[in-house]
Structure 1
Amino acid sequence: MLRALVLLLLLANAGLWAWSRSAAGGAAEAPRPAPLHAEALRLHALAEDAPAAAPARRSEPAARPSPPPDAGMAASAPVPTPTTAPEPAPAPAVAVAAACLQAGPFDEQQAGALRNAVAGLPVGSWRLDGTVLSGRWMVYIGKLADADAVRAKRAELRELGVDTDRPGAAFEPGISLGRYSTEEAAQRALGELGRKGVRTAHVVAERRDSASYQLRLPQADAALRAQVLALGPALAGRPLHPCE
């Protein structure tokens, strides 16, 4: 009986295979069914009502929530921190360069007092330079009585073709007819004026030969300048100024 059943199954299998070949039109790529072996056949009850197994789903990791649009930007941007403005550095002290300064002129008497005053200054920091001022002589008419007498005399001299000038404060009211560096030159000029008709003029010494002094500080820095200015009356009111 078992042999008959196996033979029946083999025939059915062969028929099914022949039918599938004819339905496929003899296509070369159709797969050939594997032959059945009677020894491997097992009969199982059909589980028609068994629910189909749901296909297994590959577990996926939970989706990470996306950061808000500005999250990355906020994380990368540096957070400002309050800072204290640095205090300005103190300005460096400006060194005053040494320069040559001088004061004057001083006459003989003033120079003597100044020489005593500056003796306490550093050696070599000062010197008194003296020059001789030659005398000056003037052909002069005066002193006259007043300004009216001066005006009248000037008008008279203009008629003679003689130029006039003011004689200086020490000789007012009066008239100067010329100044000369030597007494001899002044006397010659007086003779020429006499030939023009000038009768009341004479030669006077406007200034005698004298010495004049200048205080010189060749390399005066701020400290030396302050020391000299502190001499007060010894400077006779003469200011310090750059050397000429």
Structure 2
Amino acid sequence: MVRLIVLALILANGVYFAWSQGLLRDYGFAPTSQSEPQRLAQQLHPEMLTVLSATDLKRIEQQVQADLAPKECLRAGPFDDAQAAALRNVLEGALPAGSWQLDTVTLPARWIIYMGKFANTDAMAKKKAELAAMRLKTEPLNNPSLELGLSLGGFETQASAGAELQRLNQRGIRTARVVQEREESRTTQLKLPAVNESLKARVADIKPALLGHPLKSCS
């Protein structure tokens, strides 16, 4: 009897060992797997870690702060083909790649209500004072060939300029006329889409190449 019990215990231990080692898995008997391979994939790889010095950490912090700082979109122009080519050479050496772009744009024709040409600057100043007394504003001319003269407003079509001239005639303006200030043309504009404080300091280096065109907000 004792011998049978001992044999039964040995057999039971053998079966348990085979079960615990997965030797009976093909027969449908095996313990539930507790492994989590996804956790192994999430483990850090120490060979990929880099120890940063205080200088490196400060540089990264400054870069993060610069990236988070407010950015401004600026533009300047227009430039003709020769001016744009010269400006491109300056930009490539002065500003980081991707921080600027030269866009080709079409400028529509522009018509103005024009008074002039005046004999001298005194005559033009006198007429400007008369217009101010009538609460009429003048605008700067963008066509040097029309100097010395005054503009009472610019329009994209000759018809709209003519309609405004008729209204001004009713207010006593008799010597003004509609002239074309510029024809439709293709030109190039500079755009700086995201100027932060660090880039703004470098933008000063390109100002001579802008040929007097101011940098204005894109909005």
TM-score tier after normalising by the smaller chain length = 0.3 to 0.5
Structure 2 length as normaliser, TM-score?
0.44
Higher Cα Rg, which structure: 1
- Larger helix proportion of the pair: 2
Structure 1 length as normaliser, TM-score?
0.41
